[in-house]
Amino acid sequence: MTKKQRIDAFVALGEFLQSGHERIERVIAQAAVKNPWYTAANTRKQLSAIAANLQTDSLEAWLAPYPDANSSKIVGLILAGNIPLVGFQDILSVLLAGFHAAVKVSSDDAGLTTFIRDELLTIEPAFAEKLSIVDRLKHYDMIIATGSDNSARYFEHYFGKKPHIIRKNRNSVAILTGTENEEELRALGNDIFDYFGLGCRSVSKIYLPKDFPVARFFEAIEPFQTIRDHFKYGNNYDYNKSIYLINGEQHFDNGFLLLKKDERLASPLSVLFYEEYNTGEELLNKLHTEADKIQCLVCQAPINIKIPVFPLGGSQCPGLTDYADGVDVLAFLFAELDT
């Protein structure tokens, strides 16, 4: 296949994902049964975000710096399953670059990756020689693996001798200045609650100016209160609330989110950590020291920092060049093309 054929196939896939076809609705419903975190709303949201990137102009511009390759090299992909189709970007990168993708999906995948593969093969059967879903990685020339800090040590041990990208735990943070209006604060709710806060782009901590009125924040995110009705999220909320009450730990509570002062970046599900800051310079210095643990930062004011920055409400809609952990997958692949 040529680069153009590969691009055309993914553009057609994007159009299909936006079509509302009954096959899509059926697999969405099945996924919600297999994995309760994959609600219909969240899976539709992810499919929409994927389709938004599958545009001819965007894909051509993304691939323009690289040759029209057709490599025999196999890239092993170990995908996470924390949110629906979280590994799609890796599959897209490998296939459009002209490599083979051997995909090991998460046990939480709920059949979504297989569905995408089948639809892609229906559109362009030639991808059958380039894309396989495997139970175990046996033959591969490169590895892209996503997991936790613990699994990363396992990946390093088993795959470290091959060219690799191994991703670890990361979290996202938000900065409020106190000048945000209600609409902007409400948009932050998407960064916090989309996918139940399970993604690495989910905001798990906010930085507030001194004496910020927490009630303003809670009032703005009130429309997200129905998240409390999801039994898994609700169980986490009840558990964490009980722990804080039993231990006498100070926190704010609006009935579906616990706001707790804490220096850590990674908060438990249903909990949002916060810290107060005095000056912007002080805060930037702190964030610079933790940059390797932060996936992205959301704020409304301009900021000069070497961390991907999104507007409030924008963290869950990455573009083609918003690579996980800031590692350019295409550059990695093409660096190995002739080796």
195 sits in the region (left: phi over 0; alpha: psi -120 to 50; else beta) called left
Do 25 and 159 lie in a common domain? yes
Placement of tokens 């020291």 in the chain? 289
Q: Which CATH number does the domain housing residue 287 bear?
A: 3.40.309.10
Q: Which CATH number does the domain housing residue 61 bear?
A: 3.40.605.10
What pLDDT does residue 302 have? 83
Do 15 and 136 lie in a common domain? yes
Strand extents, DSSP E, 137-267: 142-146, 164-167, 171-175, 203-209, 252-253, 258-261
Structure-token pair, residue 21: 């076809």
> Whole-angstrom Cα distance, residue 279 to residue 13?
47
Residue 220 three-state SS: helix
* Tens digit of each residue's pLDDT (9 = 90 or more) over 108-125: 999 999 999 999 999 999
Residue 286 three-state SS: helix
247, part of any domain:
yes
For the chain, how many structural domains are there in total?
2
Do 243 and 275 lie in a common domain? yes
Query: Could you list the residue range(s) of the whole structural domain that residue 10 is in?
Result: 3-169
What pLDDT does residue 86 have? 96
Do 94 and 177 lie in a common domain? no
280, part of any domain:
yes
Do 29 and 128 lie in a common domain? yes
43, part of any domain:
yes
How is the chain split among helix, strand and coil, in percent rounded to 5? 45, 15, 35
* Tens digit of each residue's pLDDT (9 = 90 or more) over 218-239: 999 999 999 999 999 999 999 9
pLDDT < 50: residue spans in the chain: none
pTM of the model: 0.95
328, part of any domain:
no
